[in-house]
């Protein structure tokens, strides 16, 4: 079978942003860890290559694919804008943006978000959604946890972030914040996929095949139960 140039050196260099639990975070040993990291390592094993993980800023992942990194796994939502510069694997997870509110907040509908102070992680779909909200003041953070800290400190009215990290932050800041399903605010479901260099159909096909094998042999579900609380 054809081998993608990206794999010719036996190494798959994967970029992530380890500020997005449970998909990626820095573990106690100081290493990137989480569902995505375990998944891409399992994919690397199927492909017979070593996986090297590069922890970088989320906003620079897409533009680094094909130069600094071979691929990115980062709970990254498939969007038309991103598809203009990268190709995506088949989707491996479906999520939605959630709204994190301070305990006792009166925000409950899409209308209530107008004119509010909203925290987001820079360059994420939560950021794009917030910027569309009428009269909202959007604060962009490099680390989502810093946005949640500012929410707890009263500097923000809400934080818009994906479902699973929202749930993790809800337990981390227990009693101080609540994570509300974005369906209540008319947010649409989002599909996560692995991003690869545009036009590298060989790599996309190899990654998709490995992903399917992991689904078929039960590894994928085992990783979901290990890392993701649903
Ligand atoms: N799903 C959102 C997006 O694609 C947020 C992903 C953030 N991921 C991360 N590792 N920080 O824009």
Q: How does DSSP assign 61-102, residue by residue? A: HHHHBTTTBSEE-SSPBP-HHHHTTEEE----EEE-EEEEEE
Q: How confident is the model at residue 7 (pLDDT cuts 50, 70, 90)?
A: confident
Please give the Cα distance from 165 to 21 (Å, whole number).
5
Percent of the chain, pLDDT > 90?
A: 95
| pLDDT for residue 65 | 97
- Please tell me if the CB atom of residue 17 comes closer than 6 angstroms to any atom of ligand 1: yes
- Please tell me if the CB atom of residue 102 comes closer than 6 angstroms to any atom of ligand 1: no
Domain limits for position 109: 97-185
Q: Give the pLDDT mean for 81-91.
A: 98
Token digits of residue 116: 């509010």
- Total residue length of the chain: 230
Same domain, 166 and 211: no
Long-range contacts of range 59-63, CB-CB < 8 Å, 24 or more positions apart? Answer: 59/122, 59/123, 59/142, 61/15, 61/16, 61/17, 61/195, 62/86, 62/195
Please give the Cα distance from 211 to 44 (Å, whole number).
10
Q: ipTM for the complex?
A: 0.98
Please give the Cα distance from 170 to 34 (Å, whole number).
18
- Please tell me if the CB atom of residue 77 comes closer than 6 angstroms to any atom of ligand 1: yes
What does pTM read for this prediction?
0.97
Same domain, 174 and 110: yes
Please give the Cα distance from 190 to 182 (Å, whole number).
11
Same domain, 103 and 82: no
Q: Is the pLDDT of residue 218 over 70?
A: yes
State in Å: Cα 1 to ligand 1 middle: 33
CATH code, domain carrying 120: 3.40.190.10
State in Å: Cα 176 to ligand 1 middle: 24
Same domain, 138 and 89: no
| pLDDT for residue 1 | 58
Same domain, 103 and 88: no
Q: Give the pLDDT mean for 139-166.
A: 98
Q: How confident is the model at residue 4 (pLDDT cuts 50, 70, 90)?
A: confident
Same domain, 72 and 111: no
- Please tell me if the CB atom of residue 193 comes closer than 6 angstroms to any atom of ligand 1: no
Token digits of residue 30: 């100081």
| pLDDT for residue 81 | 98
Q: Give the pLDDT mean for 38-66.
A: 97
Same domain, 102 and 179: yes
Tell me the β-bridge partners of 179. Answer: 100
pLDDT tens-digit profile of 101-127?
A: 999 999 999 999 999 999 999 999 999
| pLDDT for residue 156 | 98
Same domain, 122 and 69: no
Same domain, 145 and 68: no
Q: Give the pLDDT mean for 156-179.
A: 98
| pLDDT for residue 84 | 98
Q: Is the pLDDT of residue 6 over 90?
A: no
SS3 118: strand
| pLDDT for residue 44 | 98
Q: Give the pLDDT mean for 220-226.
A: 98
Please give the Cα distance from 148 to 101 (Å, whole number).
9
Residue 6 near residue 199 (C-beta atoms within 8 A): no
Residue 126 near residue 160 (C-beta atoms within 8 A): yes
Q: Give the pLDDT mean for 52-78.
A: 98
Same domain, 120 and 161: yes
Q: Give the pLDDT mean for 163-187.
A: 98
Token digits of residue 31: 């290493």
- Please tell me if the CB atom of residue 124 comes closer than 6 angstroms to any atom of ligand 1: yes
The total of structural domains in the chain comes to 2
């Amino acid at each position: 079978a054809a081998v993608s140039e990206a794999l010719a050196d036996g190494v798959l260099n994967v970029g992530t942003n380890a500020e997005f639990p449970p998909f990626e975070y820095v573990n106690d040993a100081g290493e990137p860890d989480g569902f995505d990291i375990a998944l891409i390592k399992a994919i690397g094993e199927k492909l017979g290559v070593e996986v090297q993980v590069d922890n970088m800023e989320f906003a620079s992942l897409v533009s680094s694919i094909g130069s600094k990194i071979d691929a990115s796994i980062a709970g990254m939502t498939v969007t038309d804008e991103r598809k203009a510069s990268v190709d995506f694997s088949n989707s491996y997870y479906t999520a939605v943006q959630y709204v994190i509110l301070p305990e006792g907040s009166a925000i409950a509908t899409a209308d209530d978000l107008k004119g509010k102070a909203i925290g987001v992680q820079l360059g994420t779909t939560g950021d794009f959604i917030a910027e569309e909200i009428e009269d909202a003041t959007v604060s962009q953070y490099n680390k989502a946890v810093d946005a949640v800290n500012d929410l707890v400190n009263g500097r923000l009215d809400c934080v818009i972030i994906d479902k699973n990290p929202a749930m993790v932050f809800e337990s981390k800041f227990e009693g101080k914040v609540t994570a509300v399903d974005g369906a209540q605010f008319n947010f649409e479901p989002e599909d996560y996929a692995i991003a690869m260099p545009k036009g590298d159909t060989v790599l996309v096909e190899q990654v998709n095949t490995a992903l399917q094998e992991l689904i078929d042999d039960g590894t994928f579900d085992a990783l979901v139960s290990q890392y993701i609380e649903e």
